[in-house]
Structure formats: C-alpha cells, structure tokens
Amino acid sequence: MKKRIENVKIAYIGGGSQGWAKRLMNDLALEARISGTVALYDIHPEAARQNAKIGNLLSEREEAVGKWTYEATGDIQEALTDADFVIISILPGSFQEMASDVHVPEKYGIYQSVGDTVGPGGMIRALRTIPIYKKIAESIKQYSPEAWVINYTNPMTLCTRTLYEVFPAIKAFGCCHEVFDVQHLLADMVEEATGEKVERRQDIHVNVIGINHFTWIDRASYQNIDLLPLYKQFALKYAETGFEKEPGSWERSVFSSANRVKFDLFNRYGLIAAAGDRHLAEFMPPVYLESPEKVTEWKFHLTPVDFRINDQQSKMERTQKAAAGEEHFELAPSGEEGVAIIAALLGLEELVTNVNVPNNGQIANLPKGAVVETNAVLRFNSVQPVLAGSLPADVHGLVSRHVANQETILRAALDENRQLALNAFINDPLVEPIGLKQAEKLFNEMMDNTKEWIGGGFSHDQNAYASS
Amino acid sequence: MKKRIENVKIAYIGGGSQGWAKRLMNDLALEARISGTVALYDIHPEAARQNAKIGNLLSEREEAVGKWTYEATGDIQEALTDADFVIISILPGSFQEMASDVHVPEKYGIYQSVGDTVGPGGMIRALRTIPIYKKIAESIKQYSPEAWVINYTNPMTLCTRTLYEVFPAIKAFGCCHEVFDVQHLLADMVEEATGEKVERRQDIHVNVIGINHFTWIDRASYQNIDLLPLYKQFALKYAETGFEKEPGSWERSVFSSANRVKFDLFNRYGLIAAAGDRHLAEFMPPVYLESPEKVTEWKFHLTPVDFRINDQQSKMERTQKAAAGEEHFELAPSGEEGVAIIAALLGLEELVTNVNVPNNGQIANLPKGAVVETNAVLRFNSVQPVLAGSLPADVHGLVSRHVANQETILRAALDENRQLALNAFINDPLVEPIGLKQAEKLFNEMMDNTKEWIGGGFSHDQNAYASS
Amino acid sequence: MKKRIENVKIAYIGGGSQGWAKRLMNDLALEARISGTVALYDIHPEAARQNAKIGNLLSEREEAVGKWTYEATGDIQEALTDADFVIISILPGSFQEMASDVHVPEKYGIYQSVGDTVGPGGMIRALRTIPIYKKIAESIKQYSPEAWVINYTNPMTLCTRTLYEVFPAIKAFGCCHEVFDVQHLLADMVEEATGEKVERRQDIHVNVIGINHFTWIDRASYQNIDLLPLYKQFALKYAETGFEKEPGSWERSVFSSANRVKFDLFNRYGLIAAAGDRHLAEFMPPVYLESPEKVTEWKFHLTPVDFRINDQQSKMERTQKAAAGEEHFELAPSGEEGVAIIAALLGLEELVTNVNVPNNGQIANLPKGAVVETNAVLRFNSVQPVLAGSLPADVHGLVSRHVANQETILRAALDENRQLALNAFINDPLVEPIGLKQAEKLFNEMMDNTKEWIGGGFSHDQNAYASS
Amino acid sequence: MKKRIENVKIAYIGGGSQGWAKRLMNDLALEARISGTVALYDIHPEAARQNAKIGNLLSEREEAVGKWTYEATGDIQEALTDADFVIISILPGSFQEMASDVHVPEKYGIYQSVGDTVGPGGMIRALRTIPIYKKIAESIKQYSPEAWVINYTNPMTLCTRTLYEVFPAIKAFGCCHEVFDVQHLLADMVEEATGEKVERRQDIHVNVIGINHFTWIDRASYQNIDLLPLYKQFALKYAETGFEKEPGSWERSVFSSANRVKFDLFNRYGLIAAAGDRHLAEFMPPVYLESPEKVTEWKFHLTPVDFRINDQQSKMERTQKAAAGEEHFELAPSGEEGVAIIAALLGLEELVTNVNVPNNGQIANLPKGAVVETNAVLRFNSVQPVLAGSLPADVHGLVSRHVANQETILRAALDENRQLALNAFINDPLVEPIGLKQAEKLFNEMMDNTKEWIGGGFSHDQNAYASS
C-alpha cells in the first residue's frame, strides 16, 4: 500500500522525557506514510520545549521522510484536544522518591534490580502513580475520549489498570519491549542450533501469556521449528555460564544480563520467561536477589539510582546541544514498535504483537479485568487480543500472587487505605522473608518518603491497628 | 522465507468428492513450498481412486510446482495414520436424503434455499451427520490425535461441535468461504465509492462474529477507511435493486444473489451479515423465503436437489475424463484458503482468517463451548481466535436461538432422543409458523426418510408423548 | 425468638394501589414482632391517603398485633428518606394503555392472556415502565441507598433489571407468588397419590430456575418423595381433562386454570413449568393462545381490560367504605410472602424462597446480569441466591429467546431506539407468525397509543429504515 | 414432620476409626427418624469389627432411639453396593508418615501446628492421599454412583477435589466443624456484649467464604444485630490477652487456643477468620509459627504426633473395653452435623450449613473447579451452594496462593511429577522463608519418608533439573 495519512495528531504526556520521546521522534521521521503534529505536554514545560526544538530540527532534515510539527505545551487540555493518539511516558515523582523505592529496602536486606514494577519499590511507586493516572484518565475522558492511548510508564500493569478503572471506555493499552529481547535471544539460539540467520525478530513467533515484566512463552516457533525442545537443551547447556552473543558483554551495561535467571526459571517451570532477568528476578522470592554478590553470580545487575541520575544528566546535556542544533545524530530504527503500532491503528498494516490490556478471556485462568500481557491483532482502529490459553498450575501460582497484590494496591490507592496497602506490601515475595514487623517498619519509612505524592487519607493514624 | 517442507501427509476424508478435493489438488499444485502425500479416503473407494489418478497426473505437470503423491484407500486407519492434516468434506447420506431435507418441507409451505445448515433440512441432516462425525472423531483420537483437522462439511457448526464433544483434545476447526464473498462485495463498494481498486480480498479487514452461515461483521476497514458508514449508504442505495458488479448476473447461477437480503438485514440490524443471501435467509423467519416468488423478488435462488444431481453427474463425467487424462484444465488459484491455512500451520506464514471453533471467550455473549465463527491468528501448529467482542442485543437474540437449537440437536443425536430433536425442530424460525401439529407431522415424515442413518433409539414409539 | 423490632420504616411506591398495598397492611397487622411506619407514596395522593386511613384504622384494631402508622405522601424524597424497605407496586400508565397492550394485537390475530410480561403487550408496557423505573432507581440512589427494595410490578424482570442498570449497588429483588400456586398444585398431587395431607406449601421443596412467569422446576420433593416421577404420571393422566381440586372451578375466575398448559409443557419438555397457565402461554408460540376458543379448550382465560376496570371500580368503592370505617374485614394471612421476607431481612428468621435478581451464576447457562428467578437464602440484611444449575438445551432455547428480547427492550428504552424496540418486538413468539409487515404496523399502532409515556427519541422518523 | 425412613445404608470408609466413627454412631442413635445399616469398611478389618460391636451394643440400648445394624467388612465393593451414603474418614498412611510430615520440617525451622492441610506436612500428606482417593472415587463410580459422599479426611480440599477430578458426576462434599467453633465464639461475644444468652449455635448466621481451614466470614448476624462492628471492638479488646470463656482453659488441651490469631487476622484484614487458630496459622507466613515460644505467646499449641499416638492408644483401649461391653458411655449430641446432614438429604428437614464442593460460581473470584467452602442449602437429594460473593483483594491474595498450590499438588500427584510437587512446595508461605536450597533438601527428605505411598513416577531422578 502506498497510502499516506496526514494531519495525525499525537499528544505526548511526559513530552519532556529524555528517552522514549526521542526514540519516537526518530521512528516517526523514518516512517514516510504518516505526518502531522506532536503536542509535547509536560509538567516541566522547558524540557518539552527542548524536545520540540529537537523534533522540529529533525523534521527539517532531508532523510526525515516523515514530516512532523512539534509543539510544547503545559496545558493538558490543549495537548489532548483533537488528538488521535495519546502516548504516556512519565516519571512519577522524582529521582528522590525513586532512590527511596530502590535503596531504602536495602537497609532491610531487600535488593531490587529495578524497583519500578513489584517489590517494595514497585508498590510504593504504584501508590504514587495511580493518583496521577487517575487525573490523566479523567482528562482523556473529557478531551479526547476517542483517542488511542499508549502507555509506556511503569508500573505498566497498574498504570493501564487505573486508566480503565477510571474511564472504562478508554481505548488504551500498554506497550513493552521486554518480549522483543527474548525474541532476539531465541533468534540467537536458532542460529547456534541451525547455523541459519534469522532475519527479523518478528519471525520468531511466540505465544505471550502473563503480566508485564513477568510474561511467559509457552509456544515458540521459527518457521516449522518448535523452539521449546531447542530451548530445553539451550537452557540446560547455559544454566551455569549464561548465554550471550558476545561473552562477557553483560558486564558492560547495567541493563544487560547473561540470561541465567531465565534459564533457571525454565529449568524449574518449563516455560520461557519473557522479560529481562532484572525484571524477572523481582517477581520471585529472593533467590536471585539474595545479595549484591548473588546478583553478580546470576550475571545481572542492580540499577542504582545514582546511575540513573548521572545518565539523565548526560542525556540532558545532549538534549540541550541537540536543541541548539549543536549535535548531530543519525536516524536509525530504535527497535521500538510505537510507530509500527500507530501505523497499524491507522490501517496501514496488520500487526500481531504483545500488548497490556484488561483480561477479557485472553488468559483463561487469570481474573477478568486484571491487566495482562498477550499478543493482539492490531488493525485500523482496533486492538484485539488473541486467546492465549492458560498458565500451568505452578506458574499460575507465581503470577496470580502478583495479580492479587496489584489489585490490592489499586484499591488501596484509590481509597487511600493504608492498611490495605500494607497488606499487599507484606505479601510481596521480596518483602515476606523479612517478617511482619520489619516489613511494617520499612513500609512506614517508604510511605513517609513519598508522602507528598499520595493522598492525605494515607496518614499514619488512619491505620486502625498496628501490629506490635 | 524460502523454507520448503517435505513429506507432509494429508488425510482426506471424503476423498472421492467432486468439488472440494479438486480445488485442494489444484491449490496444492500451486504451492511450491510444500510436498508430500495425500491419502484419499472414501466410503466409495472408486471415486477416491479416480481423484487419486487426477491428482497424480496433475502432479506430473511441469507447472505443478507443489509435488504430491495421491493414494486412495477405503481404510480410515491407513488414511489417518501419520497424518499431519485431516481434511473432512463428506456428503452425509445421499442425494435422496438431501431431497427429503430440501423438498419435503415445501409441501408444508416451508422453502429452503440450501437446506444444509438450519431449518428443517439442516436439522435432519445434522441428526444424520452427527453419528458419522462421532465415528470420525473416535478414529482421529485413535490414529492421528496430533493431526490438525479441517472440516468443510455442513452443517459446519454441528460437525465441528461433535468432533470436540467426542474428542475434546482434538485440534480441529471449520473453514468456510462465505465471508470471502462479503469481502469481495466490500471491495466492490470501495471501488464504487473511491474509484480505487482494492488489490486483494484480504486487504478488506473485517471483524467476524457469529456462527457459520450466520456470521456478522461489526467492524470493517480498508486502509484507514471505516467501511461501516460507507456500507450504510450502500445498503440504502441498493436496498431495492440489489447490487452486482455485473447487473443481472445473479440470475445466471443458482448460487448467486444480488445481496438484497444482506442489505435488508443491515438496514434493520445495523451490522453486515457475512454470508451468501441463500444461507442468511434460512436463519430468519420466512421473510425472504416466504414463497418461490418472494425468493425471486429478493433476487436469490432456491437450490433444487435435481440441480445438484445433474451438476454432480456432469462433474463425474469430467472427473472420469480427467482421470483418463482426456481433459486438460488450467491450474489457477481456487479462491479457497485451505492450502494457505496448511502453510500457516506448517510455520511458513502468519495468517489472520475466520475459523469455526468452540467458544472460549472469543464471543463474549455466546455460550462457552458453542462452535462460533471469528477471526483467528494461524501460525506454526497454532490456531488462536481473537477476542471478537459481543453481539448487540437484537442480533444476539437471532443468533442465540440457533445456538440453543444446535445444542439441542447435538444432545438429541447423541442420546437418540426423538422428543428433544422435535423440540429443536419446532423452535426453528422457518418451522415455527406452520404450528405445532403440522411441524410434528413434517418431522415424522422427514425422520422416516432418513431413518437408515440415525440410531434405532430414535424409533417413533420412544416418543413418550405426542401432542394430539 | 421473641425478638421485637420497632421503628421500621417502609416506603411504598404505588401506595394508592387497591390490591398489593392492602394485602401488605393485612399481613403487617398479623406479624407481632415488627412495628413502625409505612409511607404510602403515589402519584395519585388521594388514593394513598385513603389507604393510609384504612391502615391506621386497621392498626387500631385489637387483633392487629403488629402496630403501624400509615402516612400518605406525594413527595418521593419524603417517602424514601430513612426507609429500611422500599416496596414498589405501580401501574405503569393507565388502563387505557393497558387496553391497547392487550386488545390492539387482537386485531392482528394475537391473543394475550395477561399482556404485561412478554408478547406485544408486555414489550410495549416495558417501554413505558423502564423510564419510570429509571427515575425510581435514581431517587433510591439519592434518598435511601441502603434500603432493601422489593418489586412487585410487571414486567418483573425488566423492572428489576432497570433498577440494577441505573443503580448497580441497589439491594433490590423482585417477588412473585406464581411459584406458590405450583407448590399448592404439587401438594394436591401428593394428597391424591398418597392420601397424606401436606400441611404447609413450604414443605413442597422445589428448585426454581428460569425467568419470572417462565420459571421451571427441575427438582421437587416432599419429605423423601421425589415428585418428578409422580408428576410425570399426573401430567399424563390429566393432560386432556386438566386437574383442579374442585372440578370446574377454573371457569369461575378469570385468573384460574385447569393446568392443562403446565401439563402439556411437562409432557413436551420434561420440566414442571412454574407459573400460572395464563402467564406460561404467553411465552410460547401461539399454541395455547391461537384463538379465544383454543384458550377455552386449554381451560384458562384471557383477561379483558374491561374486567380489570370493573374490578378496580368495585375495589375502589370498598376502599372508600373501608377508609370511612364503614366496612369491616377479617384479618387473615394473604398467602403473600412480603412480610415474611421483611422479617427475614430484619433477622427474625431464615427463609429460603424464590426471588428475581441479576444472574451472577445462579443459573449457569443464562447470561450474567440478566434478571432470573431462583431460590435464595434470606437472612438479616442478606439475600443470597443458591446455585440452581442449568436449563436443559431445549428449555434453554425457549427461555433465552425472551432473555435476549428483554435485553433488547432495555437497550431500546434507555436509548430511545425505535428500531431496536421493533427488532425485539418481531422476535417475540406471539408476534413472529404474523409476519414482518403486519408486525411493524402493529408496533407503530401500539407505540402511538403509548407515546405520552415514552421519550421523544422514539419518534417515528428516527426509524432510519422501514421495511416496505 | 413425623416421617420415619428405614433401611438406609451408610458405607463408612475408614470404619475402624477411633474418633469420627464413634461420634456418628452416637448421633445416629439419637436420631429417631432414621434407621438402617452401617457398613464399616477399613483396611484394618479388626478395628472395623470392634467398632461394629460397639455400634450394635449401642443400638440395643433403650435410649438409642435410632436403630442401626453395624457390619464390618474388608471388601469395599460389599460396603459400597446399595449405599445411600458414603462417609470417608481415613488416616492416609500411618503415624510414622505423619511424624515425618509434622516434625521433619522442624529441623529446618518450620513449625506446624497440625500439619495436615497446607505447609510442608499438608502437601506431602496430600501427595500420599490423592492416589488413595483416586481409587475410592473409582470404586464409588463403579459400585454406588448415586450415593451421597461425605468426606471428613484432611486435606479436605484436595480429597474432595480428587473425588470430582476422577468421577465428575459424584455427589460429594466435605464437612468440617471448624466454622461451628467460631459460631460459638461469636455467641460468647454476643453474651458478653448484650447479656443475652444465644440458645443455639445455628442462630449465629454467618456467610462463609474461603477454602477449608482458611475460611472467612464477611457477614455475621444474630437476630437483627450486625456482628461485624461488635467483633471489631472485641478483637481489639482481646488482641493481647486473647479471649476464652474460662480464662486459661486454652492451656489444657492441645486443640484449644485463646483466639489471638483470629483477632490479629481481623485487625489486619477486617474479616473474621473462621477456623481454629492452629489451622489458620499454617496458611500464613511464619508470623504465628515462628517458633514454639511464639506459638505459646499467641496462645495456641503445636500438636506433636507423640500426643496423637498416645491419644490413639488410650482411645483404642477404651474401644476394646466398649466392644467388650465393659465400658458404658452416655449418649449425648457430639456437636457434629453429619446426622443432621443425612436427615436433610433424606428430606426430613431443610438445612443451611457450610460445605466444601467445587466452585461453580459460589465464590466469584476463586477459580471454577477449585474446592471451596461456603454455605449451601441441603434438602432431599440436593446440596446447593449459595452465592457467597467475593473475597476482598488482600484476603484473595492470601487464599488464592493456596488454591494455586493445591491445584499444582493435584496435578503433580496425578501425573507423578516431582518437579511440579516441588514447585508447589517452595511456594508455600511456611516453606518460602527457608530458601530454595533448603526447601529442596527438606522436600527430598520428606518424599523419601513417604515413598511407599506415592507412585514410582515420583522417583528422584525424574527430576530433570535440580537447582545446585
């Protein structure tokens, strides 16, 4: 098809972001079939303005075949009005709260490799994020109820869940690239086993089933090759050493791993865990996260917030240069799927990919309404999950525990019910081992550190009963 | 992908057929990526043998890029053993029973355009077919439990339903081309409205939701064009005249129509009915089938069984010539999807198309377990229906009546419960208007005509109570 | 228990009624354990005032052991505020509209024995009633959200359904005495078969499953006697003659029957239909309602609205006399269960009886949310339906057709969608036989007759398409 | 009703038991309305013979108004044939295996107060019990498919689940008296709060929702008193001291407690936990079972198997005396409900009580098919659970974890899949804190101790992968 679609409007909430926004601008510039306007909304309008400058400079470049106008705004109504798409990618709170999420639990012996999804950090972050998403959902309901809403913020599940809870008719879904990395890993495995090079990540077909960052693959194929038996050998072979295309490369980046956690999970549960090791480890009891030394043994990393602060700093400097036209960067596909998804929803292609939406039967043995991750067929104005089947009993046990905790956190956040939040908190597999009293102490400390972001209903004395 | 897959075995039950088998042979010959053996099983082995001869002659032709060996057999175990695929396309009973199905009700003022799905004919045919499918399911369970089973026989819904009832772990689905014709119609509509030629039927994206031959489309698009508003105008414009690409062409074939039934259903229910008019008409009260004259007014046809007998005769003559090598025919795509489906299940491509399988949530407001028709994603060794949504309340009323009747007929056939069969029979919208007594008389007459094909448990005096 | 509960407040919507209100006053006077206030609200305040007078006179009588104060009001807020119970029993519209519901279809050959539940009359009545119930639900939500709401108005199913649609947290259920009559019939049967007298209707245990007035019993027992085999003989024995305790008594009252319809349904479907014959007949195609003569043959009655008008007139005269203290009447149990239900909800006893509430699994094969009738356990502030099981396939077909029509009518009424209402109308088994064109004509005539009671959105030209 | 029912046959599997069997004999003797035969089946026929002697002696006593003949048999076919009821109460394995279940984990720091439901002991016991129940289910299917089957054996949930898995049409349910004790506690609370004596346990109405031994009450009433607010004060008041009618009495029996665990659970979760503290404690992380000292602080007991052995010894001695007619005991109601249940199923009364059956919607947010505990209405030949509602999100998290583990154990036992059993084992809240390696060591040790009772498929080397 040579169809071209013009005058598309994208509202970007968190438009001052240093990461996702830029990847989107890049990918939009490389997609010749679509053009229009991107409204960058941010509570830090200056950051949005700099991104707008970069975007508009980029759009002027000849090799930018997709032409877009970028506008920064601090007014969410203006951003949303007439939007065809709303992308949400925000930092809930600041690095200060994130530091509390990640590092305060370390005083209690709890190590988290990311701290933004589950575990003590993920839960407190969720309590902070849900009120923000409540407001975003209300704004979308008011200003752009027909727009497609794509969420990138973590905790993905609870962000998406909140949007639907507040505005049930919303056309929203969450996107995550973690599955892609597993497809790449499987492609590497195919190459090792057959000598044949897999051309496109998408040629590795996987059945995705689970919740974001704790997603599983129970069927995988490449052409007519069933990849599960291959993976069984692969996971045993590399159980101890891990597998990397370039051996040792996991040590170079805080985001990398040697896939040992994934292999161990397969050897124990028989399914391919489909996220990065640093995410997977957080959903399990502290097997992989017992201590920083264990983390190194399992060949992945903790992600200190200091690292994030420094990384952010250097990104901002590059942003300033780029906005001033002082830095040139090459246009290249980011590996993200956001623009392909937009193209599909505009009717330009049919796409089967993994999305996060409320369960309506796509996973038979998870509760209706819980936000789950499975494949879906994306077409013009349509996202239809496929029936992904059921999780096996033991994996169901692992996943449904987090589903229950997430539902509890949602209720706690919306009702500002401190006891309920605590009850979810102590049921987390990373928290449970420290015992009820320590857990409660940790909870109180973390809640104090985030108190500006949560409702007054959460105040401590509301807690009808404190275990002594 | 240039992948080639060899040594595929297809078992064809009903391998002596004059229609479907030949289309399959044709399409297999045109698919270069797959080769293997087709075992043609038939209770009339001579017919299968002739088809085998034709198939093998065809395979020798140079332009036949897909090379297959055809073998006829009267032994189902031999046919099924080691089969990767089982295709079922049979005539349940003979034209004699079909004549009873279609024409006996005419004495009571009931006209049927096909008589093989619902209505008095479809129901009696189902009572005859279910025992045959029970045996087929048992054979598949025994000899080829891992094979993919593709059904083409009508009544599609009850054939597929029986396979799953008898062997719940079967990997079966029903395929039907009726939706394709509606995609062609929508493509014609797009051309009329925009002047633009739609290249491929598959570029018309539709959300299929319903039961076989009474399927509905609630979302349709071409590129970024929403086709529902267009169809609204189209259906009103052609409500009286009907629409055909070549005006008047509907009169030339007993299988053709001018789509007036479809337009009328849209104008009343707001959804696109997605089957040929002759099928759709049978699911409704006798609006379109009130009399042969009304059928002509609505611009479609009754299908007399005499026509089928003559047609069969001429096909058989051509078959004999072809088997003797005396008739040459051009290889050309049949328009059917069977081979594309096989290719997808072998991992050669990803295909989104409509299939008939038990409802496991793909249609939210039809009962679990009922065989329904929706889109599915087909991949290597995998058929995953998409979540198609819900039928609107009024259409749900129309469809669920037949779903209940079909479930009743299934129970009646498996238990040989005559009263239960009668209770379904009198609840059919074509039967209901003639009243209970006439309906019971008709039922008894039709049951007598098919008594050799149904179990002895159905004998008349089992009927504990006859309305007087 | 000798517990006494004082200061209970009951709000009675339709408090001017000539029937239900009086039975309630009677039964309240006979229940020594409860006392308080009844607020009689009516859009005809004078009628409510007369009932209040009667109630207060009654309460003064010595034999009235339950002491209540009756107050009439025309202000729904006043009536509802502080109410513990809300009873709703209204006439939607006037006898004029009811005459249209019942008698206009007769011109088209459609006879209805009641005309207030399904059939053309029931459907049009529903379109008139739903807007009234929408307002009542909104008032309850505002003024007495914690009150228990007991509905007696027909169409029972759609009245209750509307209450839940508008105010999902409402504590409402519908009560109907039709099942009681069948318990009495079964008691008579037990006496005939065993010579033993059944002391209390409640000792006949039945499993109730279906929708109001089209309820079924698939299990029935008295002590350790399974009543189904007995009923099988009974229904055959009296299939032709009907059964009455006093032969011929059915002729004396328009509300009576000889149970021939019930027996015929059992003989055909194998379940005990659990409502009066005049209600049951309306849910079926015109077998029993083919003509007034057929109705007589089946030994039940049509209920002319003239009869109701005269009946009402004589009741009103008696009301006036009673309010003036000129007529004495004996206190005696009415046979209704309203007061026993109130006692159970106040914690004075545990009661298992049949109620109408949204399906939440109590009937496995009817849709969630549809209002269904099954048994429930009633206790202090609690109504819990029991799991009643599934309807057999053939009966499911009969019932689910009406469930779909009711859902369609609800949607049509709330959206004021004329076409949708028509689509339900023509799918009714009494309407279907007259054909689409006649049905549409009848629909238009009936809608005209009730146009003052339905929203302007229903105006005729909204109908995008009229079949010609 | 004065109905008498004779010739009832009860088959008692585990008929040599020292506890349950005697209570049943006692209660049968006190029920004048029923008489018949009890077949005592046991794999230790001598024990059954002694019980038969006791039963027959008892039946001869004048005050025994219910007359029964007791027969011992070692032939299950003989026991089951013609049975109206089957009662199952067995010890799976011997005290030797039970000692391993309860005490081996203590070496790893895991203390269990009972060890027969969940926790390491409950899980290993389940692996041993499921094969026995598989055989029992097959026997019932063959010899008494229409009988009502009442289970008393632990683990209750998995015993009942296995019966339904193997014979889905079985009419089985599990009975447990733990809820009764909570009703007694609530009655004591009412007396303390109001000074009024509650006459019958059954007058405390509770809504039971959960799984056996981890059941919850979210609504409770006595007459018109809502007991939840009362319990809130009660649980706070006695949080530290515990509550007993006779202070200090908890120390006298290993089966007693001061309800501190129940109060703590209420204070944290807001629902009344409805089982003894020693059962409840095992479902939670080691808060209450941290150490023997903590158990004493929480005022309940561990139950050493030595105690059971001694207790059994003294019971057997009394049995021998009783069988020899040397010991007289008074007939008095046991407090159990078995005979009342039998009376209800025979049609003599209607009973609302708590039962364990597969979930078919009675608990909205637990999986279909899982065995759950809720109230049910019991009548002639009928057990119908009531719709109990949903567990709140946090309690759902606690309960569903065990539901998933139980499903995993069932699969593991039926498939003899050692890895699957281990995966459930390590997910238990008592096991999780000791870490994966220790847990695996413990699992292996316990499996070795029970290896005679589990299938050969469980052999160690089947474990494809052992974490190192």
Structure confidence by residue, pLDDT tens digits, D38-80: 999 999 999 999 999 999 999 999 999 999 999 999 999 999 9
Sign of the C-alpha dihedral computed for residues B212, B214, B218 and B220 taken in this order: positive
**Known catalytic residue at B460:** no
pLDDT-wise least confident of A377-386, B201-210, B320-329, D70-79: B320-329
Structure confidence by residue, pLDDT tens digits, D230-282: 999 999 999 999 999 888 889 999 999 999 999 999 999 999 999 999 999 99
Is C223 within 8 Å of D1 when comparing Cβ atoms? yes
The pLDDT of C121-130, averaged and rounded, is 98
Can you say which residues of C are annotated as belonging to the binding site for Mn(2+)? 176, 213
The pLDDT of D100-119, averaged and rounded, is 97
Residue C456 is predicted with a pLDDT of 81
Answer whether residue B446 shows pLDDT above 80: yes
Across all residues in chain D, what is the average pLDDT? 94
Q: What top-level class would CATH report for the domain B97-114+177-303+336-457?
A: alpha beta
- Are D267 and D231 a contacting pair, CB within 8 Å? no
User: Which among D188, D132, D182, D138 has a CA at the least distance from the CA of D158?
Assistant: D132
Chain C residue numbers with beta carbons less than 8 Å from the beta carbon of B410 are 393
Residue D459 is predicted with a pLDDT of 74
Q: What topology does CATH give the domain B5-96+115-176? A: Rossmann fold (3.40.50)
Structure confidence by residue, pLDDT tens digits, D318-328: 888 888 888 77
Q: Binning pLDDT at 50, 70 and 90, where does residue B319 land?
A: confident
The nearest CA of chain C is from the CA of B95 a distance in Å of 29
Is C233 near chain B, with CB under 8 Å?
Answer: no
Give the residue with greater pLDDT, B106 vs B464: B106
Distance CA D21, CA D14 (A): 8
pLDDT-wise least confident of B314-318, B343-347, B384-388: B314-318
Q: Binning pLDDT at 50, 70 and 90, where does residue B2 land?
A: low
Is A5 near chain B, with CB under 8 Å?
Answer: yes
Q: Which residue out of D44, D103, D177, D184 is catalytically annotated?
A: D177
Residue C465 is predicted with a pLDDT of 47
Q: Say which amino acid occupies A169.
A: A
Residue B460 is predicted with a pLDDT of 55
Chain D residue numbers with beta carbons less than 8 Å from the beta carbon of A234 are none
Is A289 near chain D, with CB under 8 Å?
Answer: no
- State the ipTM, two decimals: 0.94
Chain C residue numbers with beta carbons less than 8 Å from the beta carbon of B420 are 393-394
Q: Binning pLDDT at 50, 70 and 90, where does residue D462 land?
A: very low
- Are B50 and B319 a contacting pair, CB within 8 Å? yes
The CATH H-level superfamily of A5-93+118-177 is: NAD(P)-binding Rossmann-like Domain (3.40.50.720)
Q: What top-level class would CATH report for the domain C5-94+117-176?
A: alpha beta
Is D361 near chain C, with CB under 8 Å?
Answer: yes
Q: Is B233 exposed, middle or buried (0-12, 13-18, 19+ CB in 10 A)?
A: exposed
pLDDT-wise least confident of B135-149, B249-263, C303-317, D408-422: C303-317
Structure confidence by residue, pLDDT tens digits, A7-53: 999 999 999 988 777 889 999 999 999 999 999 999 999 999 999 99
Distance CA A216, CA A366 (A): 13
Query: A111-143 burial by CB neighbour count: b if 16+ within 10 A, else e?
Result: bbbbbbbbbbbbbbbbbbbbbbbbebbebbbeb
Structure confidence by residue, pLDDT tens digits, D304-318: 999 999 988 988 888
Across all residues in chain B, what is the average pLDDT? 94
pLDDT-wise least confident of A340-344, C246-250, C361-365, C432-436: C246-250
Q: Say which amino acid occupies A116.
A: D
Answer whether residue D389 shows pLDDT above 80: yes
Structure confidence by residue, pLDDT tens digits, A307-346: 999 988 988 888 888 888 887 778 888 888 999 999 999 9
Q: Binning pLDDT at 50, 70 and 90, where does residue A467 land?
A: very low
The CATH H-level superfamily of C95-116+177-303+336-455 is: AglA-like glucosidase (3.90.1820.10)
Nearest CA in chain D to C218: D382
pLDDT-wise least confident of A242-246, B460-464, C365-369: B460-464
**Domain spans of chain B?**
5-96+115-176, 97-114+177-303+336-457
Residue C449 is predicted with a pLDDT of 97
The pLDDT of C441-461, averaged and rounded, is 88
Answer whether residue A463 shows pLDDT above 50: no
Residue D19 is predicted with a pLDDT of 78
Q: Binning pLDDT at 50, 70 and 90, where does residue C106 land?
A: very high
Structure confidence by residue, pLDDT tens digits, C53-65: 999 999 999 999 9
Q: Binning pLDDT at 50, 70 and 90, where does residue D329 land?
A: confident
Q: Which residue out of A177, A184, A205, A396 is catalytically annotated?
A: A177
Chain D residue numbers with beta carbons less than 8 Å from the beta carbon of C380 are 205, 221, 223-226
Structure confidence by residue, pLDDT tens digits, B3-60: 899 999 999 999 998 877 788 999 999 999 999 999 999 999 999 999 999 999 999 9
Residue A300 is predicted with a pLDDT of 97
Chain A residue numbers with beta carbons less than 8 Å from the beta carbon of B346 are 224
Give the residue with greater pLDDT, A3 vs D403: D403
The pLDDT of C182-205, averaged and rounded, is 96
Q: Binning pLDDT at 50, 70 and 90, where does residue D344 land?
A: very high
Is B367 near chain A, with CB under 8 Å?
Answer: no
Chain C residue numbers with beta carbons less than 8 Å from the beta carbon of B430 are none
Residue C460 is predicted with a pLDDT of 55
Interstrand relation of B148-151 and D382-385 (parallel, antiparallel or unpaired): unpaired
* pTM tops 0.80, yes or no: yes
- Are D430 and D119 a contacting pair, CB within 8 Å? yes
Mutation site for D-interface testing, chosen from A419, A465, A467 by largest number of D Cβ within 10 Å = A465
Nearest CA in chain C to B408: C393
Distance CA D225, CA C380 (A): 8
A-D C-beta contacts closer than 8 Å: 107
Can you say which residues of A are annotated as belonging to the binding site? 154, 176, 213
Residue A464 is predicted with a pLDDT of 45
Per-residue three-class SS string for chain B = CCCCEEEEEEEEECCCCCCHHHHHHHHHHCCCCEEEEEEEECCCHHHHHHHHHHHHHHHHCCCCCCCEEEEEECCHHHHHCCCCEEEECCCCCCHHHHHHHHHHHHHHCCCCCCCCCCHHHHHHHHHHHHHHHHHHHHHHHHHCCCCEEEECCCCHHHHHHHHHHHCCCCEEEECCCHHHHHHHHHHHHHHHHHCCCCCCHHHEEEEEEEECCEEEEEEEEECCEEHHHHHHHHHHHCCCCCCCCCCCHHHHCCCCCCCHHHHHHHHHHCCEECCCHHHHHHHCCCCCCCCHHHHHHCCCCCCCHHHHHHHHHHHHHHHHHHHCCCCCCCCCCCCCCHHHHHHHHCCCCCEEEEEEEECCCCECCCCCCCEEEEEEEEECCEEEEECCECCCHHHHHHHHHHHHHHHHHHHHHHHCCHHHHHHHHCCCCCCHHHCHHHHHHHHHHHHHHCHHHCCHHHCHHHCCCCCC
Is B269 near chain C, with CB under 8 Å?
Answer: yes
The CATH H-level superfamily of A94-117+178-303+336-454 is: AglA-like glucosidase (3.90.1820.10)
Give the residue with greater pLDDT, A100 vs A249: A100
The nearest CA of chain B is from the CA of A56 a distance in Å of 26
The pLDDT of A372-379, averaged and rounded, is 98
Which chains have 3 or more CB–CB distances shorter than 8 Å to chain A? B, D
Is C419 within 8 Å of B264 when comparing Cβ atoms? no
Q: Which two tokens stand for residue B376?
A: 């599915």
Q: Binning pLDDT at 50, 70 and 90, where does residue C354 land?
A: very high
For residue A393, give the nearest of D365, D408, D436 by CB distance. Answer: D408
Is D381 near chain C, with CB under 8 Å?
Answer: yes
Same fold, B5-96+115-176 and B97-114+177-303+336-457: no
Answer whether residue B464 shows pLDDT above 70: no
Answer whether residue A2 shows pLDDT above 70: no
Angle between helices B119-143 and B156-166 (to 10 degrees): 30
Q: What topology does CATH give the domain D94-116+177-303+336-456? A: LDH C-terminal domain-like (3.90.1820)
Q: What top-level class would CATH report for the domain D5-93+117-176?
A: alpha beta
Answer whether residue A252 shows pLDDT above 70: yes
Is B347 within 8 Å of A205 when comparing Cβ atoms? yes
Answer whether residue A462 shows pLDDT above 80: no
Give the residue with greater pLDDT, B316 vs A464: B316
- Are B298 and B265 a contacting pair, CB within 8 Å? no
Structure confidence by residue, pLDDT tens digits, C149-187: 999 999 999 999 999 999 999 999 999 999 999 999 999
Give the residue with greater pLDDT, D18 vs B358: B358
